[in-house]
Amino acid sequence: MTMRRFEGKVVLVTGAGRGIGRAVAERFAREGAALALVSNDESNLTETVKELEAVAADILAVTADVSDNGQVRDAVEQIVRRFGRVDILVNNAGIAWEESVLDITPENWRRIIDVNLNGMFWVAQEIAKVMVRQREGVILNMASTNGLVGEAKYAHYNASKGGVVLLTKTMAIELGASGIRVNAVCPGYIQTPMSEAIDDTEFVDQYVRDKIPLGRTGKPNDVAGVFAFLASEDAAFVTGECLVVDGGQLAF
Ligand SMILES: NC(=O)c1ccc[n+]([C@@H]2O[C@H](COP(=O)([O-])OP(=O)(O)OC[C@H]3O[C@@H](n4cnc5c(N)ncnc54)[C@H](O)[C@@H]3O)[C@@H](O)[C@H]2O)c1
């Protein structure tokens, strides 16, 4: 039987158009939540809405670029006007590509930091204001194992995710007294359109053999279930935590 832990709750998922964000939206919808979905890509967002409208209690989709704090403010205003509150934020939108330290251009450095770190902050800050008024809420930020250890050719990405880890801990310290929990999830290798655009099958097979004790890559659902746990009452005393979901990769 599917649990229904989020009936009556409003869950905002950014980057909900595909990949992990879409799986997270589906998980919360199946457990009874109303969804506010944000992505910068209108067509992938429309597909997510089509897939979930029969399942979700209610859905509002807003097209916005999280790196633009004006667009974030407008999106949050629309969401609060529609639902009156936000109980859970899954701050997931992000981008990645490979580039060596010596080749990263100023534009590419700025874009990754702008979306993955600044964008995450704009959304978390706007939603924190709403949750402080409510005196309750859960903020979940998407970090990565790359926010905890380095990986060659991802200096900009790793720096952005390392920033998300410490943003999460600092927000947890400041917002605990307002009844708000703030945690991060640090996935390892998850098979999504993002990772498929970067790596070919041969690379992935070798990576799994060399690095992942569980012998497979993660699926978006492996991560969605962890977000649902952290948002649930079972995690009522968990805050400032970064939960690694990597098939054992960081156990080495
Ligand atoms: N795939 C992995 O192996 C992996 C591992 C660790 C962490 N992550 C993180 O998980 C998150 C989701 O990754 P994914 O693999 O599902 O990626 P994906 O590219 O498949 O999906 C990303 C989603 O975010 C949206 N998005 C991108 N830039 C945006 C912006 N500026 N504003 C609003 N929406 C934006 C995209 O339109 C898309 O819907 C990212 O933060 C990523 O860094 C992924």
Domains (range + CATH), the chain: 10-190+220-245 (3.40.50.720)
- What is the chain's Cα-based Rg? 17
CB of residue 18 inside a 6 A radius of ligand 1: yes
Output the tens digit of pLDDT for each of the chain's 252 residues: 579 999 999 999 999 999 999 999 999 999 999 999 999 999 999 999 999 999 999 999 999 999 999 999 999 999 999 999 999 999 999 999 999 999 999 999 999 999 999 999 999 999 999 999 999 999 999 999 999 999 999 999 999 999 999 999 999 999 999 999 999 999 999 999 999 999 999 999 999 999 999 999 999 999 999 999 999 999 999 999 999 999 999 999
Q: How far is the CA of 92 from the centre of ligand 1 (A)?
A: 6
| Total-model pTM | 0.98
H or E, element range at 61: strand 59-63
Other residues' Cβ atoms within 10 Å of the Cβ of residue 88: 24
Q: How far is the CA of 39 from the centre of ligand 1 (A)?
A: 10
Handedness of CA 89, 95, 96, 102 (dihedral sign): negative
The residue to mutate among 194, 199, 211, 223, having the most atoms of ligand 1 within 8 angstroms of its beta carbon, is 194
207 flagged as catalytic: no
